[in-house]
Structure 1
Amino acid sequence: MIFDIIIIGGGPIGLNCALEAKKNDLSYLIIEKGTIVNSLYNYPLYMTFFSSSDKLEIAEIPFISTAPKPGRREALEYYQTIARQRNLNINLYEEVLKITKNEIFLVETSKNNYHAKNVIIATGFYDIPNLMNVKGENLPKVLHYYKEPYPFAKQKVAVIGSSNSAVDAALETYRKGAEVTMIIRHNEFSKSVKYWVKPDIENRIKEKSIAAHFNSEVVEITENSIIFKDENGKIQEIENDFVLAMTGYLPNFKFLQNSGIELQGDCLNPFYNQETMETNVPNLYLAGVVCGGKDTHLWFIENSRIHAEMIVNNIVSKN
């Protein structure tokens, strides 16, 4: 079978692409290497979205939330229910290894080979941590993903980063009895930190419940300590049991390059037509946060939902 569209990635934007294809009577297949909305599944258990539920809706399907800002569990229920009730054609726990194109696309996976006239890459960015590249980063006590605070009770925890994930990890572990030190490269927290959380972390630092070192950078991690350079250029070493390296995540640039997509500039922004989302490879499209390259805060569910309609409209117009 030759599909009209193969969609790589079963996140919210990938699901939206499938719904748009279905609405236009196009044959499609979603290929997802994990579960449905796998990135959301791997988010911290008690994560709350910045966006309200109406901003996370796809295909005009209402997202009913009990709180103004929905959490991880509500989002999982919403998106997985859509996939189930709309009977979307999706292969799970199947990783796409390679895309090649002659007259049509050959999509090779860990389980099978598929052919398609068009391919949409909607793989997000949550699978590859943005490493610090310091000695000791590969120690078991260094974690690039944070799920919940309970394992860190009564432990000395260093939280690296200045974004929402770092702030949430610092506050949650502190409230479960951890001795928390934040190490932040910049002179302030990220402007993307949720407005209702920022006063909390600032007050905890002000009262010295949480230690914070701004304009500082990790130099080395050992079994029992973490070594960093502070804002005065002085090397400091403090006792440490765990490091939560909330330094962000990156798209799979190697996969994009191997698919023939041009990457541009220091942020490795993938080339695409902003009106159609088509890359420099004809009939190969990008959708969602993968479009931002290293600038992973550029796109999110709220402002990339429109990509599905843009792409499918372009495919239909070609036909």
Structure 2
Amino acid sequence: MLDLIIVGGGPIGIACAIEAEKHQLSYVILEKGTIANSLYNYPLYMRFFSTAERLEIDKIPFITTAPKPGRQDALEYYQGITRQRQLNIRLYEEVLMIQKNGNEFSVTTSKTGYIAKQVIIATGFYDIPNLMNVEGENLPKVHHYYTEPYPYAQQKVVVVGSSNSSVDAALEIYRKGGDVTMIIRGSEIGNRVKYWVKPDIENRIAEGSIKAYFNSEITEITTSDVLFKTKSEIHQIENDFVLALTGYLPDFQFLKNAGIILEGEAEVPLHNPETMETNVKGLYLAGVVCGGRNTHLWFIENSRIHAKKIIEHITNP
């Protein structure tokens, strides 16, 4: 029997494994993709809001020449830690179910099963798109993830939202020759957009290089058009692709199946913020999954501390 199973091999899962090793706990990280799988699926040219030192794990230097590290820098860093520390991680092994049996947990994966005294869920929230729930959302032209601008050159592209991902996509596609229209539910570009990018998108909108409709939402998508409404009228525009970058959600059903109570409209998993233990004794949460639908609350920078809290509670209950 293992002391600990860590579900998720991202930065916070890695941090939990390092803390477990410090306290000589037997553990395994179970990751359904590659190391730092969510980061791997980020846009190719994405840059973090934070500087490198705020993304560091266990004071291991994150060395980069760029003022703001990018996706590839982060993958090199977190995968490098895993190699250098020889962390016990099983890749491409998805956790299907967590069951509490007395004082131990049975964890079933896509490959085998494990028994452990405690479990940490550090799965993030990048796997399930926050759907618009409109007709035509399942068409092949609709994408909920964005990788790079080149497929959208000389195409009429609707970008939904005004988050960092939406703004980055709109600017990159515009600069590769795409005809970009932004459909934005709010009245302005989001306040959380990176401060060095916000003036760029606002200026492109002001000059008309990128069209933007505020206080708007899509009502229907067809093979050739997009219909959306503003406060006063319905619009219909020609369209080749829709990038519905409306955010992502934790796997709530997975959490509920493990016995975790979800609270309120935001479906925040019930947990003690001092220990990160859920209502299921011995089952902990770490990282962005703690926020439920409030996915803006937790980042690598402010959730690294979860690892220490959890391991301290396990070793000093």
The TM-score by the shorter chain falls in which range?
A: over 0.9
Pair 1:203 & 2:203 matched: yes
Q: What amino acid does structure 1 have at the position aligned with 2:169?
A: A
Q: In structure 2, what is the Cα distance between the partners aligned to 1:30 and 1:174?
A: 40
Q: CA deviation at 1:231?
A: 3.0
Q: In structure 1, what is the Cα distance between the partners aligned to 2:186 and 2:257?
A: 34
Partner of 1:5: 4
Partner of 1:291: 290
Q: In structure 2, what is the Cα distance between the partners aligned to 1:308 and 1:179?
A: 45
Q: CA deviation at 1:65?
A: 1.2
Partner of 2:150: 150
Partner of 1:126: 126
Structure 2 residue runs of 5 or longer lacking an equivalent are none
Partner of 1:39: 38
Taking only aligned residues, the RMSD between alpha carbons, in angstroms, comes to 0.5
Q: CA deviation at 1:17?
A: 0.2
Q: In structure 1, what is the Cα distance between the partners aligned to 2:33 and 2:191?
A: 31
Partner of 2:140: 140
Q: How does 1:45-84 map to 2 (within 5 A)?
A: 45-84=44-83
Pair 1:161 & 2:144 matched: no
Q: CA deviation at 1:129?
A: 0.2
Question: What is the DSSP-based 3-state SS (H/G/I as helix, E as strand, rest coil) of the residue aligned with 1:136?
Answer: coil
Partner of 2:226: 226
Contact 2:189/2:202, CA 8 A, preserved across alignment: no
Q: CA deviation at 1:189?
A: 1.7
Contact 1:213/1:231, CA 8 A, preserved across alignment: no
Q: In structure 1, what is the Cα distance between the partners aligned to 2:169 and 2:273?
A: 35
Pair 1:245 & 2:244 matched: yes
Partner of 2:176: 176
Q: What amino acid does structure 1 have at the position aligned with 2:133?
A: N
Partner of 1:262: 261
Q: CA deviation at 1:230?
A: 1.5
Q: CA deviation at 1:67?
A: 1.1
Contact 2:95/2:107, CA 8 A, preserved across alignment: yes
Q: In structure 2, what is the Cα distance between the partners aligned to 1:236 and 1:287?
A: 43
- Post-superposition Cα deviations, 1:100-147, rounded to whole Å, max 9, x if no partner, equal 011200000000000000000000000000000000000000000000
- Post-superposition Cα deviations, 1:62-88, rounded to whole Å, max 9, x if no partner, equal 101111110000000000000011000
Partner of 1:185: 185
- Post-superposition Cα deviations, 1:269-311, rounded to whole Å, max 9, x if no partner, equal 0010010000000000000000000000000000000000000
Q: In structure 1, what is the Cα distance between the partners aligned to 2:188 and 2:266?
A: 22
Contact 1:149/1:172, CA 8 A, preserved across alignment: yes
Q: In structure 1, what is the Cα distance between the partners aligned to 2:167 and 2:231?
A: 20
Aligned length: 316
Q: In structure 1, what is the Cα distance between the partners aligned to 2:299 and 2:212?
A: 29
Question: What is the DSSP-based 3-state SS (H/G/I as helix, E as strand, rest coil) of the residue aligned with 1:101?
Answer: strand
Contact 1:183/1:218, CA 8 A, preserved across alignment: yes
Contact 1:214/1:231, CA 8 A, preserved across alignment: no
Q: In structure 1, what is the Cα distance between the partners aligned to 2:295 and 2:282?
A: 24
Q: What amino acid does structure 1 have at the position aligned with 2:250?
A: P
Q: In structure 2, what is the Cα distance between the partners aligned to 1:188 and 1:13?
A: 33
Q: In structure 1, what is the Cα distance between the partners aligned to 2:230 and 2:274?
A: 45
Partner of 1:276: 275
Question: What is the DSSP-based 3-state SS (H/G/I as helix, E as strand, rest coil) of the residue aligned with 1:277?
Answer: coil
Q: What amino acid does structure 1 have at the position aligned with 2:307?
A: A
Q: What amino acid does structure 1 have at the position aligned with 2:249?
A: L
Pair 1:304 & 2:303 matched: yes
Q: What amino acid does structure 2 have at the position aligned with 1:51?
A: S
Contact 2:62/2:77, CA 8 A, preserved across alignment: yes
Question: What is the DSSP-based 3-state SS (H/G/I as helix, E as strand, rest coil) of the residue aligned with 2:316?
Answer: helix
Normalized against structure 1, the TM-score is what? 0.99
Structure 1 residue runs of 5 or longer lacking an equivalent are none
